């Protein structure tokens, strides 16, 4: 019988339930300070603490590593040069996240119809496509923005190149950011793009905080260049208590939780379990990340 592969699991406070793997792999659980010891001789690394950059610090100890799986859709905090240049396969968790009553005042108000409105979705991966389907289902017109411009896309119809974003948002009611963070998408939404939006438009960022130039977003909201924003991700997290975004009535702030429906940790663990079984059986892994581009291309 072939020797069982060793899986190092980098976690913080929460430890994933990997009981289903106990008979097929050897598990080593470690927090960041102990990762160097855990990763030495390990075949596989599960980055459960997906904001950690600890692997970069212990990379010389990871000489036996063949596969790294990240318990998130984004991999930007993981991809350092040595890993990108290596033969180590990287997979992600694409598909798991395919989502004031303060004054006790009773005040009737009207809500807006979203049917017929136009949503521009930046990011044409699995989450973007699932989002496009949900938006269309409630009556919105959807177009996409991605790396390559194309027509007749099955989910978006028209996909515009990201370099043309400022040209294609002039009639957008909602600008929805779901793109991975790469050198091409960093700071994509800046003062120019915000100025091109209608004054009634809303910005929704559930991708990565660095997709926007935050100071430009704050200025656009303060100056009523756009009508509002719903922001789940930020350049610095947690969002500092004195940040001006907290005080803006036109902003909805959530703490990086848009994909965290009840049971999300179980779904993340199950995705890794299934991929680990594929690894042990010698089958191709799911969700292999293009380490140069920084996302799953298939």
Q: Give tens-digit pLDDT for 64-85.
A: 999 999 998 888 888 999 999 9
| Pairing assessment for the beta strands 174-177 and 228-231 based on DSSP bridges | unpaired
For range 184-194, the mean pLDDT:
97
What pLDDT is recorded for position 1?
41
> Catalytic one among 82, 163, 223, 237?
237
> In which band, very low, low, confident or very high, does the pLDDT at 105 lie, cut at 50, 70 and 90?
low
Nearest to 198 by CA among 166, 217, 168, 225: 225
The residue written with tokens 């017109």 in the block is: 141
Does the reported pTM lie above 0.85? no
Mean of pLDDT over the chain = 92
Kindly state the percentage of the chain with pLDDT values over 70.
Answer: 94
Residue 165, token pair as written in the block: 């974003």
The domains located in the chain, with CATH, are: 6-96+262-296 (3.40.50.720), 118-253 (3.40.50.720)
Q: Is 160 a catalytic residue?
A: no
pLDDT tens per residue, range 123-173: 999 899 999 999 999 999 999 999 999 999 999 999 999 999 999 999 999
Confirm whether 208 is a catalytic residue. Answer: yes
Joined together, the tokens standing for residue 48 give 């459960």
At residue 92, does pLDDT exceed 70? yes
- In this predicted structure, the answer to whether residue 100 has a pLDDT above a threshold of 50 is no
Percent of the residues in the chain that have a pLDDT greater than 90, as a whole number = 79
Active site residue 237: yes
List the structure tokens of 106: 């009773």
Q: Please report where in the chains the tokens 């194309």 appear, as a residue.
A: 150
| Catalytic residue (one of 56, 147, 150, 256) | 256
Rg (CA), the chain: 21
CA distance 107 to 172: 29
pLDDT at 238: 93
Report the 3 state secondary structure along the chain: CCCCCEEEEECCCCCCCCHHHCCCCEEEEECHHHHHHHHCCCCEEEECCCCCCHHHHHHHHCCCCCEEEECCCCCCCCCCHHHHHCCCEEECCCCCCCCCCCCCCCCCCCCCCCCCCEEEEECCCHHHHHHHHHHHHCCCEEEEEECCCEEEECCCEEEEEHHHHHHHCCCCCEEEECCCCCCCCCCCECHHHHHHCCCCCEEEECCCHHHECHHHHHHHHHCCCCCEEEECCCCCCCCCCCCHHHHCCCEEECCCCCCCCCCHHHHHHHHHHHHHHHHHCCCCCCCEEECCCCEECC
């Amino acid at each position: 019988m072939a020797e069982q592969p060793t899986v190092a699991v980098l976690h913080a406070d929460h430890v994933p339930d990997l009981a289903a793997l106990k008979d097929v792999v050897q598990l080593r659980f470690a927090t960041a300070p102990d990762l160097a010891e855990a990763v030495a001789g390990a075949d596989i690394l599960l980055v459960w603490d997906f904001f950690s950059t600890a692997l970069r610090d212990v990379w010389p100890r990871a000489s036996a590593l063949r596969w790294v799986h990240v318990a998130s859709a984004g991999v930007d905090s993981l991809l350092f040069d040595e890993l990108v240049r290596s033969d180590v396969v990287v997979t992600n968790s694409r598909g798991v996240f395919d989502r004031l009553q303060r004054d006790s005042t009773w005040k009737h108000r009207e809500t807006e119809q979203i049917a017929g409105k136009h949503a521009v979705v930046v990011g044409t991966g699995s989450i973007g496509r699932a989002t496009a389907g949900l938006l269309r289902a409630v009556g919105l017109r959807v177009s996409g923005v991605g790396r390559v411009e194309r027509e007749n896309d099955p989910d978006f119809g028209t996909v515009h190149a990201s370099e043309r974003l400022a040209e294609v948002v002039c009639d957008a009611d909602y600008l929805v950011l779901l793109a991975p963070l790469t050198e091409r998408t960093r700071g994509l939404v800046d003062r120019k793009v915000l100025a091109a939006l209608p004054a009634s438009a809303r910005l929704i960022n559930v991708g990565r905080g660095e997709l926007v130039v935050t100071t430009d977003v704050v200025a656009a909201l303060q100056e009523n260049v756009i009508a509002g924003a719903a922001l789940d991700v930020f350049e610095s997290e947690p969002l500092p208590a004195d940040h001006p975004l907290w005080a803006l009535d036109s902003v909805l702030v959530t703490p990086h939780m848009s994909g965290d429906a009840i049971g999300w940790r179980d779904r993340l663990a199950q995705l890794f379990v299934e991929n680990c079984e594929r690894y042990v059986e010698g089958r191709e892994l799911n969700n292999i990340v293009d380490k140069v581009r920084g996302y799953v291309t298939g």
